[in-house]
Amino acid sequence: MEQPMIQNILLDKFQHEVINIDESSDMLTVTVRKQAIVEVIGFLKEELGYLFLTDLCGIHYPDQELALGVVYHLHNFQTNTRIRVKTFTSVATPEISTLTDLFSAANWMERETYDFFGIIFTGHPNLIRILNVEYLDYFPLRKEYPLEDQTRTDKDNRFFGR
């Protein structure tokens, strides 16, 4: 099944839920509203044959209103095609529905995404930290801190091109 055909099927079925479709890279990328993520990925799995969840990871764009996102990569073994599905949520309410009912592999990937980005996967059977300590009170992969220590006095900016 070619990208334009998949694109048309998704637009026909989820016309109000699809925010953006990007086919500029080697992989079709579909951005959907977070309320429809389970329905869209379930449709891709059951109807279009994307039976393998390759990856699931978090992203953080601090300059956007919906700053936190989740990126899903799905693979169709019959046609040897992949698709990327994205969804976004706000930092104030970082909740997205879990995919553990569709893909058991989503369990640990969602826990890792929660651990590093603080995205809460509602309905997850065991959403606890998986790599960081339990008492960590921040999410280390969010872009909330400056890249450099602004209080350092021992560095000379002339050596850093400033």
In percent, how much of the chain has pLDDT > 90?
Answer: 81
Asked if the structure places residue 156 within a domain, the reply is no
* Chain segment 99-137, per-residue pLDDT in tens: 999 999 999 999 999 999 999 999 999 999 999 999 999
DSSP state of 139: -
**Matching residue, tokens 């334009």:** 4
11 and 23 Cβ atoms separated by less than 8 Å: no
Q: Is the dihedral of CA 73, 96, 132, 65 positive or negative?
A: positive
Asked if the structure places residue 91 within a domain, the reply is yes
CATH of the domain at 49: 3.30.460.80
Question: 153 is written with which tokens?
Answer: 């006095």
DSSP SS3 for 15: coil
Domain that holds residue 59: 9-137
Q: Give every CB contact of residue 48 below 8 A, 6+ residues apart in sequence.
A: 1, 6, 9, 76
User: Across all residues in the chain, what is the average pLDDT?
Assistant: 92
Q: What local confidence, expressed as pLDDT, does residue 54 receive? A: 97
Overall number of domains in the chain: 1
* Chain segment 38-66, per-residue pLDDT in tens: 999 999 999 999 999 999 999 999 999 99
Q: What angle (nearest 5°) sits at the alpha carbon of residue 35, between those of residues 68 and 49? A: 100
Give the predicted TM-score (pTM) of the model. 0.88
Asked if the structure places residue 3 within a domain, the reply is no
Asked if the structure places residue 33 within a domain, the reply is yes
DSSP SS3 for 110: helix
Using CA atoms, how far residue 154 sits from 147, 148, 151, 161, 162, in Å, is 16, 13, 9, 16, 15
Asked if the structure places residue 144 within a domain, the reply is no
45-55 residues labelled b (16+ CB within 10 A) or e (exposed) = beebbbeebee
Asked if the structure places residue 153 within a domain, the reply is no
Asked if the structure places residue 147 within a domain, the reply is no
Asked if the structure places residue 155 within a domain, the reply is no
